[in-house]
Amino acid sequence: MSYNLLKGKRGIIFGALDENSIAWKTAERVHEEGGTFVLTNAPIAMRMGSINKLAEKTGSKIIPADATSVEDLEKLVAGAVEELGGKIDFVLHSIGMSINVRKGRHYTDQKYDWTQKGTDVSAMSFHKTMQVLYKQDAMNEWGSIVALTYMAAQRVFPDYNDMADNKAYLESIARSFGYFFGRDKKVRVNTISQSPTPTTAGQGVKGFDGFIAYADKMSPLGNATAQDCADYTVSLFSDLTKKVTLQNLFHDGGFSNMGVSDAVMEAFVEKEEE
């Protein structure tokens, strides 16, 4: 169902890799709600994924950019404003990467040049993106910038490794830059702390399937899907959330406020009785 929530709005969507990715589902929903946008991803991710199919489906242009390169981001933002015919109303930052996770290095045995690269891609790129948008005065008043995060920024999930630190940094940037963006340009900046979601990126984390099942049993409403997240993101891009800023918004079926659930307790009681 479409409500025309984003009619006439223009944006940039980072990180659509394939049909499983939250950015992909968000792009489809934004398109349904009347928004137009430029798609962007790193050249290597574009070769791995199927972003051309999404561009065709949504009538969008792709502008490749390495989100860690300020020069690339400057070209991306200027190109998006030109392509879309005006200033930007919404931006989705949906990128994250840990080489330590990918290569199976334990949190207590990091290779720090890998850690630094992951921090640059997963968190610092968000600051760079906002700094470019801010300096180019590329955002319309009451625009909305959203980054995707995860609750490992606040609590320990051992196998999430250095991505937990990256997400904590990302959330801090959202608040700090969000203050200046709000004060000076009336732009809001928020992060969505999403349920564990079986995306291509998410599945790289050890024990992920077990963790999805655990989170689902723990949450009164069950896990939020990628599609649910796309809907929530659309609401944050819309004019219905004009005064929501500097927030880390938990979108996780209630997981973040749970201590334990009956379903989880039952699993432990059953084990004890065996």
Give the tens place of pLDDT for each residue, 54-64: 999 999 999 99
Mark whether 150 is an active-site residue.
yes
- Alpha-carbon distance 82 to 65, whole Å? 16
| Per-residue pLDDT reduced to its tens digit, 223-245 | 999 999 999 999 999 999 999 99
Which uninterrupted H or E stretch holds 125?
helix 125-135
Catalytic hit among 107, 112, 160, 169? 160
Does residue 3 have an active-site annotation?
no
Between CA 65 and CA 248 the distance in angstroms is 26
Q: Domain coordinates of the chain in residue numbers?
A: 10-273
Q: What is the pLDDT of residues 144-176, one digit of tens each?
A: 999 999 999 999 999 999 999 999 999 999 999
| Residue 85: burial class (beta carbons within 10 Å; 0-12, 13-18, 19+) | exposed
Phi, psi for residue 54 in degrees, rounded to 5: -65, -40
Catalytic option among 112, 134, 150, 169: 150
**Gap between the Cα atoms of 252 and 223, Å rounded:** 6
> Mean of the per-residue pLDDT values for the chain?
95
To the question of whether residue 15 is assigned a binding role by annotation, the answer is yes
- Who contacts 93 (Cβ-Cβ below 8 Å, separation ≥6)? 14, 15, 67, 125, 126, 129, 145, 146, 147, 148
pLDDT tens readout for residues 176-188? 999 999 999 999 9
Residue 21 DSSP code: S
The pTM assigned to this predicted structure is 0.96
Say whether pLDDT at 204 is over 70: no
Is a pLDDT exceeding 90 seen at residue 16?
yes
pLDDT classification of 190: cutoffs 50, 70, 90: very high
Give residue 199's pLDDT: 84
Q: Band the pLDDT of 52: cuts 50, 70, 90.
A: very high
For 173, counting Cβ atoms within 10 Å of its Cβ (0-12 exposed, 13-18 middle, 19+ buried), the class is buried
Whether 96 and 72 have beta carbons less than 8 Å apart is answered as no
Q: Which amino acid is at 190?
A: N
Chain mean position to CA 61: 20
Structure confidence at residue 272 (pLDDT): 67
Mean pLDDT for 101-117 is 97
Fold held by 10-273: Rossmann fold (3.40.50)
Q: Is 95 annotated as a binding residue?
A: yes
The mean per-residue pLDDT over the stretch 21-50 comes to: 94
* Residue 206 banded pLDDT, cuts 50, 70, 90: confident
| DSSP 8-state class, residue 34 | T
Residue 167 is assigned to a ligand binding site: yes
Instruction: Classify 186 as helix, strand or coil.
Output: coil
Nearest to 26 by CA among 120, 155, 148, 139: 148
Confidence class for position 98, pLDDT limits 50, 70, 90: very high
What is the model's pLDDT at position 261? 97
The type of residue at 55 is: A
- Measured distance CA(196)–CA(204) in Å, rounded: 12
Q: Which of 126, 232, 251 is nearest to 189 (CA)?
A: 126
Please give the pLDDT value at position 207. Answer: 80
Query: What's the rounded mean pLDDT across residues 103-117?
Result: 97
pLDDT band at residue 271 under the 50/70/90 scheme: low
CB 14 within 8 A of CB 95: yes
What is the distance between the alpha carbons of residues 105 and 92, in angstroms, rounded to a whole number? 29
What is the percent of the chain with per-residue pLDDT over 70, rounded to a whole number?
Answer: 98
